[in-house]
DNA sequence: CTTGACCTTCCAGTAACTGGAAACACTAGC
DNA sequence: GCTAGTGTTTCCAGTTACTGGAAGGTCAAG
């Protein structure tokens, strides 16, 4: 499979697949005589794996770790769980920050009349 | 005031203040004979304004808009409100995405025994 | 007069791509 | 066999909002 079909199969843009190859995350296992990257089933599965992990918000480096655990048949589930749990804690942290932000900003927007006059509690608060 | 004191007063790293000057967000109103940036009260107020707006998650470009509204004595509060409301909607959107992510991932972490065995629902789900 | 803190500019790197240019490869139709 | 169109290659640059570091100039204190 050429890169275009592989990308389609994995649900990724071609550019991204090439990028993943460049950074050594998922390399094409082979090249055609003309130099075209050729992807097999296993490589496409890895690409799809990375796409899903990225959808879950895992960073590229986390994906690299997960991928090596994924490929290592003797890995323990504890390792994977640790990565996921850390990531989950980060998400919860971000959620808290976002909630605080939201409440403050919502207050300001509510307090702002939003008319033609220059009185604006939002600017007052910022300035 | 030199850049160090201005940065301290505004609660920003020196590098960031210099960066804001470079991109024309908040320029130093003057330079010393030796070429040192000199900040006055007004400039420091603008720097602090930007810091707070950034804390609220406004992008640099949004800060630029807010700043020009902030400086424009004839501006209407509606303009400011519109920017803030748009930003609020983005925050809410991100909150929803994060919540969905959180629930899915929390499920997986919960389902994973996290022991020495290779059975791992997290990897199963990703792979 | 020297030391140390502060300032300057410029260059490079971060995360994770994305866009574009120039050139080569492949396929279909005529 | 030729041509058009699409797919592929590499490389370079840009994105966001800084951050780190190097090389060198400035200033105040002792």
Which pLDDT tens digit goes with each residue over B99-122?
A: 887 887 888 788 776 666 666 666
**Least trusted range by pLDDT, from A23-37, B13-27, B52-66:** B52-66
Among the partner residues B75, B98, B106, nearest to A94 by beta-carbon distance: B98
In the numeric block, the tokens 């994906």 are attached to A63
Residue B29: what pLDDT? Answer: 95
B74 falls in which pLDDT band (50, 70, 90)? Answer: low
Residues 6+ apart with CB under 8 A from B60: B23, B25, B54
HSE toward the beta carbon, residue A84, CA cutoff 13 A: 30
Residue B125: what pLDDT? Answer: 67
In the numeric block, the tokens 């490929």 are attached to A71
Residue B108: what pLDDT? Answer: 78
* Closest-CA distance of chain B to residue A72, Å: 9
B127 falls in which pLDDT band (50, 70, 90)? Answer: low
Beta-bridge partner residues of A31:
A37
Mean pLDDT over B35-48 rounds to 95
Mean pLDDT over B64-84 rounds to 78
Judged by DSSP in three states, B72 sits in: coil
Contact in structure between A49 and A67 (CB atoms under 8 Å)? yes
With a CB-CB cutoff of 8 Å, which residues 32-61 of chain B face chain A?
45, 49, 52-53, 56-57
Residues of B within 8 A of A66 (CB-CB) are 123, 126
- Check CB contact under 8 Å for A94 and B95: no
- Check CB contact under 8 Å for A81 and B112: yes
At B30, phi and psi to the nearest 5? Answer: -155, 165
Query: Protein B40 CA to nucleic acid D21 C1', in Å?
Result: 29
Closest residue in A to B99 (Cα) is A95
Low-confidence ranges of chain A (pLDDT < 70): 73-76, 113-123, 125-127
Pair type for strands B37-38 and A37-38: unpaired
Beta-bridge partner residues of A37:
A31
- Check CB contact under 8 Å for A104 and B45: no
Could you tell me how many CB contacts below 8 A there are between chain A and chain B?
Answer: 142
Residues 6+ apart with CB under 8 A from A73: B118
Residue A44: what pLDDT? Answer: 96
**Within an 8 Å CB–CB cutoff, is residue B101 touching chain A?**
yes
d(CA B115, CA A77): 6
In the numeric block, the tokens 């939002």 are attached to A122
Using a pLDDT cut of 90, give the percent of chain B over it: 42
- Check CB contact under 8 Å for A122 and B85: no
Beta-bridge partner residues of B32:
none
Residues of A within 8 A of B53 (CB-CB) are 126
* Closest-CA distance of chain B to residue A22, Å: 22
Helix (H) or strand (E) holding B37: strand B37-38
């Amino acid at each position: 499979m050429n890169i275009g079909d592989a990308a389609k199969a994995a649900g990724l843009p071609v550019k991204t697949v090439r990028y993943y190859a460049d950074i050594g995350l998922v390399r094409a296992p082979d090249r055609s005589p003309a130099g075209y990257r050729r992807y097999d089933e296993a490589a496409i599965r890895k690409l799809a794996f990375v796409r899903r992990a990225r959808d879950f918000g895992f960073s590229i480096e986390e994906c690299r770790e997960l991928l090596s655990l994924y490929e290592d048949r003797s890995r323990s589930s504890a390792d994977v769980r640790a990565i996921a749990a850390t990531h989950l804690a980060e998400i919860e942290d971000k959620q808290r920050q976002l909630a605080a932000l939201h409440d403050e900003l919502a207050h300001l927007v509510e307090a702002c009349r939003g008319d033609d006059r220059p009185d604006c509690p939002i600017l007052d608060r910022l300035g």
